[in-house]
Amino acid sequence: MCNNNFIQKTKDFFNNNDIDFGKPYYIFDTVDSTNRKAKDIAEQGGTDKSLIVSQIQQSGRGRLNRGWESPPGGLYFSVILRPTICVKKTTLLPLVASVCVAKTLRMYGLSACIKWPNDIRINRKKIAGILLESNIYQNKLEYIILGIGVNLNTTKHQFSEKIRKNVTSVLSEHSKPIDYYQFLRTLLDFLDTYYRLFINDKYPRIISDWKELSDTLEQKVKIVTSKEDIIGKAVDIDEHGFIIIDTIQGEKKTIMSGDCFHFTEL
């Protein structure tokens, strides 16, 4: 599964495909984290839609300060985004990215669902993750790093025992390896389309697509935030991508970010 010609093959892929979302590209056999590398490149002036991809990551980063195990066979990349929008609007980007990843997986016949805000799962097992990191200076958005990791052609034994039972991969679900570059192409095409929708303020479309792909709405959930745990029914998401909960105390609460658990799985 470890591909020794990764850099050359990936260069060939980008050179032979007319891809706008993902230019210029930076390819590595190994990095600590493509998000961290992307940040370095962004600090040196890296432009909108630059893509950083690596065959493996030594210390992949996940949401909420967690790690992201990144063995060979997975897809790990980050994109520098410099949309000229106000900071408030960036909260929809996790939804944009999750719609694209879920739609790509569905193109492969897999029943991928989004758990709020942007966990991509199949049968409750995580198959892909999205990490957005923003650099805001004096209330002005400098850049955003969008990092995506997909368990593509990986097998369970490549993951630590701690997470093994909670993860799956395209290979495990599909029972045969899939073409890394075809998958990447499909995902970049979706990102291109939805990033344009986002830039052009087509928020209702993004939100309705997200709702269609999510399995969180209508569920009883527990949302763990830095301040409190909120329990109730997830009834909607608002125009910012925040989740609206009818709490068991009878209140309506809008939550910006947190760790979401479906009660049926607790």
The site for ligand BTN (CB under 6 A) is made up of 33-35, 57, 60-63, 66, 68, 76-78, 119, 129-131, 147-149
54 three-class SS: strand
CA distance 78 to 259: 22
Shortest CB 22 distance to ligand BTN, Å: 14
Element (H, E) at 47: none
Shortest CB 76 distance to ligand BTN, Å: 4
CA distance 81 to 146: 7
Closer residue to ligand BTN in complex, CB, 53/221: 53
Closer residue to ligand BTN in complex, CB, 65/139: 65
Closer residue to ligand BTN in complex, CB, 18/265: 265
Closer residue to ligand BTN in complex, CB, 50/232: 50
Closer residue to ligand BTN in complex, CB, 77/190: 77
Closer residue to ligand BTN in complex, CB, 119/209: 119
CA distance 208 to 214: 10
Q: Which residue is nearest to ligand BTN (CB)?
A: 129
Shortest CB 200 distance to ligand BTN, Å: 26
Residue 137: strand pairing partners: 140
Handedness of CA 118, 120, 126, 130 (dihedral sign): negative
Element (H, E) at 120: strand 119-122
Shortest CB 167 distance to ligand BTN, Å: 11
Closer residue to ligand BTN in complex, CB, 130/206: 130
Q: What is the DSSP string of 196-228?
A: HHHHTT-HHHHHHHHHHHBS-TTSEEEEE-SS-
What are the angstrom distances between the C-alpha of 263 and each of 119, 233, 234, 238? 16, 10, 11, 22
Instruction: State the CB neighbour count (10 A cutoff) for residue 212.
Output: 12
Shortest CB 62 distance to ligand BTN, Å: 3
CA distance 221 to 202: 28
Shortest CB 8 distance to ligand BTN, Å: 21
Specify whether the CB–CB gap between 195 and 93 falls below 8 A. Answer: no
What residue has token string 């923003």? 134
Shortest CB 75 distance to ligand BTN, Å: 8
